[in-house]
Chain A
Amino acid sequence: MSGLKMPLPDAATLARRAEIVADMRIIVPGEGVVDAENAMRVFETDGLTAYRQLPMVVVLPETVTQVSRILKYCGERNIKVVPRGAGTSLSGGALPLADAVLLVMSRFNRILDIDYANRTVTAQPGVTNLGITHAVEQDGFYYAPDPSSQIACSIGGNIAENSGGVHSLKYGLTASNVLGIEMVLISGEVVRLGGKHLDAEGYDLLGLMTGSEGLLGVVTEVTVRILKKPETARAVLLGFASSEEAGQCVADIIGAGIIPGGMEMMDRPAIHAAEDFVQAGYPLDVEALLIVELDGPAAEVDHLIGEVEAIAKRNGSTTCQISTSEAERMNFWAGRKAAFPAVGRISPDYLCMDGTIPRKELPKVLAGMRELSEKYGLRVANVFHAGDGNLHPLILYDANKDDELARAEAFGADILRLCVKVGGVLTGEHGVGVEKRDLMPEMFTEEDLNQQIRVKCAFDPDHLFNPGKVFPQLHRCAEMGRMHVHRGQVAFPDIPRF
């Protein structure tokens, strides 16, 4: 673990471990409590495998009542809780703590209701993202957000991370596709937000919960919107001699009023790695490759394909292939979808970054990355959700070589600083977790962060949910109570009447 400081384990809690395990076994009978070291080993990390930590105990509840009793127990005794879905977080959101209960929601794995009249699916949080689509695809429906881990990641985890995917430019992130949840607070209270109706009442607590990274509550039921599958989908593969041309092509497509279902860009190193791996037929003599997918009614897709082709030509595209069959469309995607493992083949290890930038800044950011690549002596390959400006630089390194992990992390941090500098953000879809926690001040002032922590105080006043994640420093709620004093003054005798 390179320099990451987690909250110090609480000695009093660790001293009571045996008692806590025994009490957990009373709440969750059977095999739902795991405390043997070798059995807990599978839970010691998530998708960010550079960090590992054994939990105090792993609990796998099966009912909402059990979740409620576990949280009430922990809340009353000041015991930390780390919620975990499928454990696919790329930012260490589910990294255990030595003195925390790891609350694993994988047994909540049932679809509860499919309602075609209202186009909703209600599921337990451990159902996978793809499991929702599988439950309705025989009737021509699907769930739109499609993070690349969709075969494994859970819908509860998607709520925690506000997951996106390739299609989020057109169909939105998780936040716009979830209608309701049931959740349990640290007090053990069970509350419902929203339902099958389109807008939840009162404050937008659902909006706050989505993307809260397991720091506010535990989701026990989810209702999402499903969509009818588009009648058809076709993809265009476009090669360019420079990323500037490719970037301008993206801007012109959107400028023409076209919102593609997906619009992905890859740079030369990513193209070569992918082509070597899956032989998708990508051109190897280009600096940037664009995959533009148009979906919808056939008449619309045919019309727009023509427009995209014309725009690409105006921007100097050197290759332009249009898929004529479903097999060909899938083939265009094969290389992009295999980009991460493809890079895994050419490097022992890689770090996957996740910044978002205003699209027009792409050439500047790519140039900056090339400079940083030389500075740190490490290679980088880029895949990019071009439509919404979400970058995934893959930094190649070898963990067995002395300081390469540390260098890769410093390189990654510099890339994210660059993203923020050009008007972007630290994370587009992977979450802050532990990975980007200490970079939060690059984007937020102390006052910005304090207001976020105050939201946490409303849900979890003792900071028992997932401490050590998201916030570089978590001030105690009692200390947050002080009023803001403006330049040392509280009295405003002559407040101007503007």
Chain B
Amino acid sequence: MTTFTPSTPEQVLETVSWAAAEETPLEVVGHGSKRAIGRPLRVEHTLDLSQLTGVTLYEPEELVLSARAGTPLAELEKLLAQNNQEFAFEPMDYGPLLGQEPGRGTIGGALATNLAGPRRVKAGAARDHILGIHAVSGRGASFKSGGRVVKNVTGYDLSKAMAGSWGTLAVVTDVTFKVLPRAATEATLVLRGLTEEDAAHAMALAMGSSAEVASAAHLPESVTGRVLDGALRGKGSTLLRLEGFGPSVAYRFDRLSALLQGHGSHERLDDAQSRQLWREVRDCQPFADGTPRAVWRVSMAPSQGHHMVMALRMQTAVDAFYDWQGGLIWLRMEADPEADLLRALIAQYGGGHATLIRAPAPWRSAIPVFQPQPPALAALSARLKDQFDSRAILNPGRMGI
């Protein structure tokens, strides 16, 4: 049982080459803030990247930042904020939901798990902002992909392949991300008292308007009291976020409110409250209850989410709220995780996928944490894994392959 803590990419290469030669698997971790997600690993050695840190390039005017993979995300966000910039993909923090302290996690982890936030509907996820990487494959070969410029189609986009691979293809040592200006201000239009069906309709109207809504979420009555220190307790809240320059936000707020007359009663949350609210929605605060009850993250076509949830409620006890206009559904199961039932209903309502984000280890060993794929696609994924990590030494089995 050894923990390797390399502080240079060369040391990462040495460790992975050794492990590949010995055919001994490694668990690859940064801060370990998302370690409890995925099928539990049975490996002897750990490759801890938390000492592989440092910003290697930051040019605010070029909208680009490069860092070693183990650099704390919080540190980078602080640096960007000093220049009125940010990662526009708004990486969520799984800490509170998983019963850990908030504010941990590395930039490499953000890429490996393809983090996103409520702005996903407008700005995309980590995959949409990664420009380039250096990495060491499970075969013990170091390679780079991409670059430091935003427009680049030179060769296959291996940087994107790292997004959502949960450390199973290669050990990323360096990342380069596109960064963007932070909005000068934001505000949230809250529609109170809509049913889930009405909320889905109102969110679609808002997102289909020229008001440039950056985020759209719905917190049903059972959930709405668990954000903003209880300030939204009571009837369900449908949340529409506007960001930008002051005059623009004010103008769009009025337009949006006028468009949605008749859709519940309207309230306004100003900058500070709006920021707090969306951080809590981002981090799944309503289900950060300190319990081990199963929490699913479901991705579906936005218009279908509530139909699936209503069908699920007929068969099991579940608490739910919606982000991404209804396309991201957080589900807290009151008893059994009901994986088969849930996945069958997702298929029935237009398809998508479910990931078991929080569950005790025995459940995560017994239930496929990530969505099982149809045979041809699963075989293709397995071949891809093999081409990066032929001896299956990097987080073997974590994603099911």
- Across the interface, A296 reaches (CB within 8 A) one of B127, B141, B181, B248, namely B248
Q: B298: shortest Cβ distance to chain A, in Å?
A: 9
Residues of B within 8 A of A (CB): 2-7, 11, 13-15, 17-18, 20-22, 51, 59-64, 84, 114, 116, 120-121, 124-125, 127-128, 137, 139-145, 147-158, 160-161, 163-165, 169, 180-182, 184, 200, 204, 207-212, 244-245, 247-248, 250-252, 255, 299-303, 324, 327-328, 350-353, 355, 370-371, 373-374, 376-377, 380-381, 383-388, 390-391, 399
CA distance A470 to B157 in the complex (A): 13
CA distance A23 to B34 in the complex (A): 53
Query: What are the interface flags for A141-155 relative to B under an 8 Å C-beta threshold, 1 for contact and 0 otherwise?
Result: 100000000000000
Query: What are the interface flags for A432-459 relative to B under an 8 Å C-beta threshold, 1 for contact and 0 otherwise?
Result: 1000100010011101111110111111
A231 cross-chain contacts in B, Cβ below 8 A: 210
Closest B residue to A428 by beta carbon equals B151
CA distance A470 to B153 in the complex (A): 11
With A173-B151, A203-B161, A432-B155 known as contacts, the answer to whether A195 contacts B352 (CB < 8 A) is: yes
**Does A201 lie within 8 Å of B153, measured CB to CB?**
no
B381 cross-chain contacts in A, Cβ below 8 A: 202-203, 205
Task: Tell me if A's interface is mostly helix, strand, loop or mixed.
Answer: loop
Task: Tell me if B's interface is mostly helix, strand, loop or mixed.
Answer: mixed
**Does B210 lie within 8 Å of A204, measured CB to CB?**
no
Give 9 CB contacts A-B under 8 Å: A116-B204, A117-B200, A173-B153, A176-B128, A198-B120, A254-B181, A296-B248, A451-B143, A491-B21
Query: What are the interface flags for A219-252 relative to B under an 8 Å C-beta threshold, 1 for contact and 0 otherwise?
Result: 0000000001111000000000000000000011
**Does B352 lie within 8 Å of A197, measured CB to CB?**
yes
With A357-B149, A425-B149 known as contacts, the answer to whether A208 contacts B160 (CB < 8 A) is: yes
**Does A207 lie within 8 Å of B161, measured CB to CB?**
yes
A192 cross-chain contacts in B, Cβ below 8 A: 374, 377
**Does B59 lie within 8 Å of A255, measured CB to CB?**
no
B62 cross-chain contacts in A, Cβ below 8 A: 251, 358-360
CA distance A303 to B208 in the complex (A): 24
CA distance A449 to B212 in the complex (A): 41
Closest A residue to B152 by beta carbon equals A425
**Does B299 lie within 8 Å of A199, measured CB to CB?**
yes
- A1 close to chain B: CB less than 8 A: no
| Inter-chain contact total with CB atoms closer than 8 Å | 309
**Does A207 lie within 8 Å of B160, measured CB to CB?**
yes
Which chain A residues (165-220) contact chain B, with CB distance < 8 Å? 168-169, 172-173, 175-176, 185, 189-193, 195-199, 201-205, 207-208, 210-212
Closest A residue to B150 by beta carbon equals A388
CA distance A430 to B153 in the complex (A): 8
CA distance A455 to B158 in the complex (A): 9
CA distance A120 to B140 in the complex (A): 41
A297 cross-chain contacts in B, Cβ below 8 A: 210-212, 248, 251-252, 255
A202 cross-chain contacts in B, Cβ below 8 A: 164, 370-371, 373, 377, 381, 399
B156 cross-chain contacts in A, Cβ below 8 A: 208, 211-212, 452, 455-456
With A205-B381, A208-B157, A492-B21 known as contacts, the answer to whether A118 contacts B302 (CB < 8 A) is: yes
- Across the interface, A162 reaches (CB within 8 A) one of B114, B142, B147, B153, namely B153
With A117-B303, A257-B182, A498-B4 known as contacts, the answer to whether A356 contacts B380 (CB < 8 A) is: no
- Across the interface, A161 reaches (CB within 8 A) one of B64, B124, B153, namely B153
